[in-house]
Amino acid sequence: MGQPEQAESNGQVVLDEDVLAEPADPQDDHTPEPLPARSWRTRGDFIGLAVVVVGVLVASLVLWFTGDARNTVSQTGPTEVTPLVPVTAMPPSLSESWRAPSGATPAPVHLDSVVVTGDGGEVVGRDALSGEVRWRYARDWPLCTVTTAWGRVFAVHSKGTNCSEVTTLEVGSGKRGPQRNGDAEPGTRLLDEGSHVLTTGGDFVEVYRRDDLVRSLEYGTLRAIVNPNKQPRTGCTYGSFAVTGGKIALIERCPALDPSDRITVLKPNPEKSDEPQVISTTVTGEKNSRVIAVTATRVAVAVPGRIVVFDADTAALVASYPVDVSADELAGDPPGRVASTFTSTANIYWFTGSRTIALSPVDLNPLWTVEGTLGPGTTLAGHLLLPVATGLKVLDQVTGQEAGAIPVDRDGYTGPIEMATEGPIVLEQRGDTLVALR
């Protein structure tokens, strides 16, 4: 085989590609030697490496100073929790055990011997008996609301105009779980439907499903409309909400369409999140309506002087019951657009603003009323505790008869009170403060 042809160009040797494609002859002593490995230890190499390192450091610093991590405090605690044993006898007295600021909890938040408070931008898990801090989670944004659902704590922070950051936390340790950036309105509440959680709002509401917090429903005035003409009604506002398994009930006000308020029942998980599925809807014939409870078959709506019950699936009128509730008490919408209620195994208790009315959990008809209360109450040792000006009334849940009274010194506080119990601890949400009694 002949020697490969060579051509010189500016002092460089260029080998013919066809010749290079042929296998090398082992007897050919003119085979080019491999080029030595190039060293990168030149001044230019060091300059290039320095530029890359500086670029990475600058990017990391920018991410740190602008990202969420720098503005987040997450101090976790022990995972193990020991649920407190429910008491079986009513205590003869109750006095304050501890208190904490908690302006972001509309009602006491508690589970498995842990009481959760929320104030400013900070969520704190506390030992129910002592109030000592177990864990802490804080953002440099204000809290909108805190609640529990599916055995987890839900904390919603506002990043500006909306309550957009939803974070789940383990009850025992405070360790972060799934998070979601949503579009909830200021003043929102979270309602646990069982498999979904609803964010309330006056113009827009959304629903997240349990497993991964993926949005399953958007209802109202959407921020970004992908598929137009999918909402059943436009130009409406929403007054109050109630949920049960598979159903969301809400009061709609559509002045361009209806002469009065409308009660609507929605499915929380339609096939497409931006295409709501209406189970039933009808006008109430009244203004200042307020939905107070929904079950698998019934919806109870309060209107001035009455409780009106509709069939949840057909919107047919089922019954109308007279109650002593004035138009002034129903004027405006309830805080967070959620009626003040408490549900036990015996009844649903609705606080009107001046009295507590017990409703049947089956038919939603009123059973009995207690005047002069400060909230819907809670249960302890099988009895109903109702907050009143002097302390707590103890009532039989079936008859509504008073079985006793427990004085409580509230340091002059006379406003509405939401209550709960965790083992022997009685919790009172007094405005922006949570108080534990024992």
- Joined together, the tokens standing for residue 12 give 């460089």
Closest CA to 252 of 168, 181, 333, 156: 333
Yes or no: say if 183 and 201 are a contact pair by the CB < 8 Å rule. Answer: no
- Which amino acid is present at 344? S
- Joined together, the tokens standing for residue 195 give 């498999």
Residue position matching structure tokens 């990017």: 59
Query: Distance between CA atoms of 421 and 111, rounded to whole angstroms?
Result: 10
**Looking at residue 318, what is its pLDDT?**
98
Q: What is the dihedral of CA 304, 306, 312, 315, to 10 degrees?
A: -70
Query: For residue range 183-195, what is the model confidence (pLDDT) as tens digits?
Result: 999 999 999 999 9
> If you average pLDDT over residues 291-320, what whole number do you get?
98
Query: For residue range 380-425, what is the model confidence (pLDDT) as tens digits?
Result: 999 999 999 999 999 999 999 999 999 999 999 999 999 999 999 9
379 CB contacts (<8 Å, ≥6 apart)? 344, 385, 397, 421
Query: For residue range 24-58, what is the model confidence (pLDDT) as tens digits?
Result: 444 445 555 555 555 556 766 556 666 665 555 54
